[in-house]
């Protein structure tokens, strides 16, 4: 079985049918991360670059935190129940969440240093983008595919609903 979070079953898009909440989150984060990545590739004055970076971080931070919390509260416990307490996928993903949070704080802090440490900001942003991309890819395999191939359709529906409800609470 495939597809609570996006693949299709029997010609119907499960994403459309069930709201596709996790992958929607990932896509929204990807847009912000893409903007963060692009900032260092386009020519811009330092002042404009600083403003763009501040704006991206301000939008990305709550989006990302809400997403990490929803995964920790809803999806990780479901995975743990399925795999047992000894499964190392969960500590691995949790540890990545902590690294993502640490990176976000570090990057935000760098923006307020004087003089602005552009080289460090550039390197730190690149590492942050790489970490986020790696994390979302890992989640596709370690989290979403495992849940999708082991849980019943009704259980998946319940998880998707909790995720969606939680998204509304945060918004
Ligand atoms: Fe995650
Ligand atoms: Fe995620």
pLDDT for residue 85: 77
The whole-number mean pLDDT for each consecutive block of 10 residues of the chain, a chain of 171 residues, reads 42 45 85 84 80 90 94 94 88 96 94 91 92 92 88 89 76 56
Q: Which domains can be identified in the chain, with CATH numbers? A: 8-170 (1.20.120.520)
pLDDT for residue 13: 44
40 DSSP assignment: T
Residue 31 alpha carbon to ligand 1 centre in Å: 16
pLDDT for residue 171: 56
Cβ-Cβ contacts under 8 Å for 8 (sequence gap 6 or more): 2, 14, 15
Residue 91 alpha carbon to ligand 2 centre in Å: 14
Residue 32 alpha carbon to ligand 1 centre in Å: 16
18 exposure class (CB count in 10 Å sphere: 0-12, 13-18, 19+) = buried
Residue 139 alpha carbon to ligand 1 centre in Å: 6
Backbone angles phi, psi at 20, to 5 degrees: 50, 45
pLDDT for residue 75: 93
3-state secondary structure at position 76 = helix
pTM of the model: 0.82
Residues bordering ligand 1, an ion, CB closer than 5 Å: 71
pLDDT for residue 8: 39
Residue 68 alpha carbon to ligand 1 centre in Å: 5
Instruction: Give the bridge partners for 9, in sequence order.
Output: 12
């Amino acid at each position: 079985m495939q597809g609570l979070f996006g693949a299709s079953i029997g010609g119907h898009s499960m994403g459309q049918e069930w709201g596709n909440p996790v992958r929607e989150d990932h896509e929204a984060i990807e847009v912000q991360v893409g903007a963060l990545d692009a900032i260092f590739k386009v020519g811009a004055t330092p002042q404009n670059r600083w403003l763009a970076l501040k704006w991206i971080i301000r939008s990305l931070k709550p989006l990302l935190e809400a997403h990490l919390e929803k995964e920790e509260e809803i999806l990780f416990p479901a995975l743990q129940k399925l795999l047992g307490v000894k499964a190392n996928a969960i500590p691995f993903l949790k540890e990545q969440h902590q690294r993502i949070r640490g990176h976000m704080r570090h990057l935000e802090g760098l923006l307020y240093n004087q003089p602005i440490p552009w080289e460090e900001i550039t390197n730190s942003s690149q590492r942050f983008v790489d970490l986020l991309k790696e994390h979302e890819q890992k989640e596709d395999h370690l989290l979403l595919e495992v849940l999708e191939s082991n849980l019943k359709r009704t259980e998946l529906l319940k998880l998707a609903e909790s995720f969606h409800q939680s998204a509304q609470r945060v918004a």
